[in-house]
């Protein structure tokens, strides 16, 4: 009896502490869920929104613990949080959207996008990827003057002979398709290359997106302004629209979700490759955050969405094939 008593007390103490930790963890996730739903934006909150899929993983352990320990209130709470998690990440874990016969037989458009990284001194790997993928439109972000010179003069990119660029923008757009009109869009704090491209269904508007990273209050204000400008552009579109590049936001950021609510489709989510990342690459672990996106209006249906390697950059490029299925959007 004397030897059993202390062991029982120890087990009870361990059970008490494990239960307390589980409740505290669940409470923290409940608070996070409400904060995220309130669209609160601070540097720390936005950083946590980005890793939303991973934050909820401990609750699955809590489910097992609560069931085995017969902690029914804790079990109910943790099951609710599991449901919240699944609903939240469902757009990125659901099966690929079905493709209709019309989509399968429609004209194609291939888009390549890469963040070059300002510090990158060797673009040969990314340029090789562009050549290998054979895009109709190639978009680049974090382009320096040296990068721009290399992109515009590299013989491997000569087939992408229609170009939109400026010293005032860190984005560059190269196209093998005829560009009907173009500009450096200056409605946002960071100017972006923008063009109207001639395709198999007529004119498609393409924007090379690069927002600032929301790492402090000043940057958050600029990031918010840029995403809001893209939201307005998407909402007011009169042509098929394609927004491609580095949004410095994941699908779990409420403001990015608002952008999708305008009717745009995220290509990687639609093709069942959304639960993957583009940044940061070249680490001991796979990229955790997908902050590079290709968003399209209903006339451009993503049929394939993959990733490149991005040697020399801290981002993986994205490559998306679209089926062109409609005319002018309203």
What's the Cα-to-Cα distance from 94 to each of 50, 71, 146, 217, rounded to whole Å?
Answer: 19, 31, 42, 35
User: Do the beta carbons of residue 300 and residue 271 sit within 8 Å?
Assistant: no
Q: Which residues contact 29 (CB under 8 A, 6 or more apart)?
A: 55, 56, 59, 81, 84
Could you tell me how far CA 108 lies from the centroid of its own chain? 23
Give the rounded percent of residues in the chain with a pLDDT score beyond 90.
91
Taking only the tens place, the pLDDT of each residue in 21-69 is 999 999 999 999 999 999 899 999 999 999 999 999 999 999 999 999 9
Task: Tell the residue number behind the tokens 């489709």, with chain if given.
Answer: 265
* Contacts for 11 with CB less than 8 Å, ≥ 6 apart: none
Three-state DSSP state, 91? helix
What pLDDT is attached to residue 150? 97
Residue 282: pLDDT band by 50, 70, 90 thresholds? confident
Could you list the beta-strand ranges (E) of 119-254: 137-141, 162-164, 172-175, 179-185, 192-199, 202-210, 241-246
Residue of higher predicted confidence among 4 and 107 = 107
Q: What is the mean pLDDT of residues 297-319?
A: 97
Indicate whether 7 pLDDT > 80: no
Check whether 289 has a pLDDT greater than 70: yes
Cβ pair 191, 166 in contact under 8 A: yes
pLDDT at 327: 57
Please provide residue 89's backbone torsions phi and psi, each rounded to the nearest 5 degrees. Answer: -95, 0
Average pLDDT over residues 208-231: 97
Distances (CA, A) of 240 to 20, 206, 246, 273, 306: 53, 9, 20, 23, 22
Q: In what order do the strands lie in the sheet with 300-307?
A: 162-164, 172-175, 137-141, 108-115, 318-324, 300-307
| Rounded CA separation 306/112 (Å) | 10
* Mean pLDDT of all residues in 257-285: 94
């Amino acid at each position: 009896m004397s030897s059993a008593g202390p062991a029982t007390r120890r087990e009870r103490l361990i059970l008490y502490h494990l239960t307390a930790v589980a409740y505290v963890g669940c409470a923290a996730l409940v608070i996070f869920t409400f904060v995220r739903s309130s669209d609160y934006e601070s540097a720390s909150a936005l950083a946590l929104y980005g890793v939303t899929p991973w934050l909820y993983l401990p609750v699955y352990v809590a489910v097992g613990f609560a069931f085995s320990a017969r902690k029914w209130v804790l079990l109910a709470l943790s099951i609710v949080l599991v449901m919240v998690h699944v609903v939240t990440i469902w757009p990125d874990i659901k099966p690929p959207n079905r493709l209709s016969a019309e989509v399968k037989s429609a004209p194609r458009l291939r888009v390549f996008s890469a963040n070059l990284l300002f510090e990158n001194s060797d673009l040969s790997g990314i340029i090789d990827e562009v050549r290998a993928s054979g895009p109709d439109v190639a978009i680049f972000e974090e382009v320096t003057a040296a990068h721009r010179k290399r992109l515009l003069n590299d013989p491997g990119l000569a087939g992408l002979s229609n170009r939109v660029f400026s010293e005032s923008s860190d984005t560059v757009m190269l196209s093998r398709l005829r560009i009907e009109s173009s500009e450096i869009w200056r409605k946002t704090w960071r100017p972006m290359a923008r063009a109207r491209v001639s395709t198999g269904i007529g004119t498609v508007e393409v924007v090379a997106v690069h927002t600032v990273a929301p790492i402090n209050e000043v940057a958050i204000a600029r990031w918010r302004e840029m995403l809001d400008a893209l939201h307005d552009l998407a909402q007011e579109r009169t042509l098929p629209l394609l927004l491609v590049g580095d949004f410095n936001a994941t699908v779990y950021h409420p403001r990015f979700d608002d952008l999708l609510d305008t009717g745009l489709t995220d290509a990687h989510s639609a093709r069942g490759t959304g639960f993957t990342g583009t940044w940061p690459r070249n680490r001991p672990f796979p990229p955790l955050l997908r902050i590079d996106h290709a968003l399209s209006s209903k006339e451009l249906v993503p049929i394939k969405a993959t990733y490149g390697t991005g040697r020399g950059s801290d981002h993986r490029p994205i490559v998306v094939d679209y089926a062109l299925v409609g005319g002018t959007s309203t």
